[in-house]
Structure 1
């Protein structure tokens, strides 16, 4: 456990230093950015650090967005940071945000559909309304993002002479294998993966790539209750022990995966569900050190 924590500290240190121009001229929209320790905020910081022209930080809850904008403006003055408060599953609001980007900058290059909710509902305890709300926030929002962002990415200009773009959605290891989340959450994330894969084919020839990132257990605003409960029980050392990396992940690790999938270096990566889970989804449950 001590070795895993030492590695985590090293990772946190080295993630900050890398080339600063991989997103030059790119206009990016990220949903689900309000959590100060979340994947969305970490990705917004990284996109600004890599030279994006504009980054839209969006969320249904907005109590931290102004502070995030101030931090980014101060550290990355060359990048425009635009705050938008809306429900990612509200089609009209989503279209308005995308329209603002194309009206203002004449282009949209990256859309990271990261907004989502998590539940602990058992099938026996959840009702139809609970289930459909999870599907609405987690899956419908991705459908709408793909539908409308892809249209905007087809817009061309002198600065962007051909149709192109990258759409990324946050799925989950729970969408790959059962046992990593509640039934409604897992179903919604499986839907995200399938949406990404079918959309990649339906956008054939457009130059627009669609991919999903599948985090494992990441310390973020969404999962903080898990970490707090473990701390209260004195079992923090057991968090993340079910994967071969033997630790939990941090939002910055997902942000770097999101950066790769979003930028031109991943130009031949399309229609994939990309696990970033410490190896959790690499196998069925096993007894450590045993061959089954």
Structure 2
């Protein structure tokens, strides 16, 4: 279909918040991405389900997980298509956008979610593990955003201003750091910087860009947090279910969140927090160049008046 998104009425028990919108979700074969894809479909969206089907460390690959999510959406009356391209390559990211346009005729939402872990303490972290995590998380956010943004810019210049939304996936590790995850923490912090720049640059074309820092039980977290992320007994609220994060992601991708851009949200269980990043704290201005001793004395006085930073995850 090339002219308009197909109707997905009856694709779930939602309210139709995203009826007719076309959504790309990367890393949507399992975990958070799968939950997001199903939640969007339940609210009436057509979903492009991207996933390479790799292991938690990025090894292997299979088209099965993406296709399984597509079939799950279709079985519920929704509309979805699988995409198995590598979104950390320019061709893969471009083909992701083309899949939405060729299949549904439009693109409204990009959810950047794909990622994996290769955890090591810094002195044991080799270049391959560093590069691999940077590639899938940071480059894997940049390239889909670049190609989707180019499409939306062209639409705006043609007089068809979109009401588009991008939701990037950071982490508490990107906000605070996490022991044993120097590569992952750096990549997730980079995603925050990318989010702020994209929000500023793409706003003129009708595109909003926000980020989430979710906490949920997925393949990437179940070993690290096995004790605290165990599934609850029957009937109890599953605080670490990925599905708890998806309602915020769906709302951010809907037209109901118009005007919300350049923001970062933590989402966990039933809690949503607006994160407030670097802001000027105590300051001193001599009006001239400091000597090293003077600078040190001034810095110590400022630190005494400053807020104590939150601890890095896993720090003792």
Same-fold call, TM cutoff 0.5:
yes
User: Deviation per CA, 1:117-142, whole angstroms, max 9, x where unpaired?
Assistant: 12321110011221111111100011
Q: Which runs of 5+ in 1 are unaligned?
A: 1-15, 231-235, 241-246, 286-292
- Does the 8 Å CA contact 1:107/1:153 hold for their aligned counterparts? no
Question: Counterpart of 1:58?
Answer: 50
Question: Counterpart of 2:310?
Answer: 284
Distance 2:239 2:43 in 1: 26
More relative contact order, 1 or 2 (CA 8 Å, 6+ apart): 1
Counterparts of residues 10-49 of structure 1 (less than 5 Å): 18-19=14-15, 21-35=16-30, 38-49=31-42
Distance 1:275 1:211 in 2: 11
- Does the 8 Å CA contact 2:265/2:272 hold for their aligned counterparts? no
Q: How much does 1:202 deviate? A: 1.2
Alignment RMSD, CA only?
Answer: 2.7
Q: Which runs of 5+ in 2 are unaligned?
A: 1-11, 54-62, 232-237, 277-308, 312-316
- Does the 8 Å CA contact 2:152/2:161 hold for their aligned counterparts? no
Distance 1:279 1:165 in 2: 22
Question: Counterpart of 1:110?
Answer: 109
User: Deviation per CA, 1:60-112, whole angstroms, max 9, x where unpaired?
Assistant: 11322222222111112xx3210111222021011012112223332110010
1:17/1:102 CA distance change after superposition, 3 Å: closer
Structure 1 runs of 4+ aligned residues shifted over 6 Å read 279-283
1:92/1:100 CA distance change after superposition, 3 Å: same
Secondary structure class of the residue paired with 2:120: coil
Residue in structure 1 matching 2:254, options 263, 279, 287 = 263
- Does the 8 Å CA contact 2:122/2:180 hold for their aligned counterparts? no
Question: Counterpart of 2:243?
Answer: 252
- Does the 8 Å CA contact 2:210/2:261 hold for their aligned counterparts? yes
Q: Does 1:70 align with 2:65?
A: no
Task: Report the number of matched residues.
Answer: 249
Secondary structure class of the residue paired with 1:108: coil
Secondary structure class of the residue paired with 2:213: strand
Distance 1:117 1:85 in 2: 16
Which has the larger displacement, 144-153 or 23-32? 144-153
TM-score by length of 1: 0.77
Question: Counterpart of 2:223?
Answer: 225
Distance 2:90 2:14 in 1: 36
Counterparts of residues 76-87 of structure 1 (less than 5 Å): 76=77, 79-87=78-86
Distance 1:117 1:155 in 2: 32
Counterparts of residues 175-194 of structure 1 (less than 5 Å): 175-179=174-178, 182-194=181-193
Secondary structure class of the residue paired with 1:196: helix
Question: Counterpart of 1:6?
Answer: none
Distance 2:244 2:272 in 1: 14
Counterparts of residues 108-187 of structure 1 (less than 5 Å): 108-156=107-155, 161-179=160-178, 182-187=181-186
Distance 1:186 1:24 in 2: 35
Secondary structure class of the residue paired with 2:20: coil
Distance 2:20 2:180 in 1: 38
Distance 1:189 1:142 in 2: 10
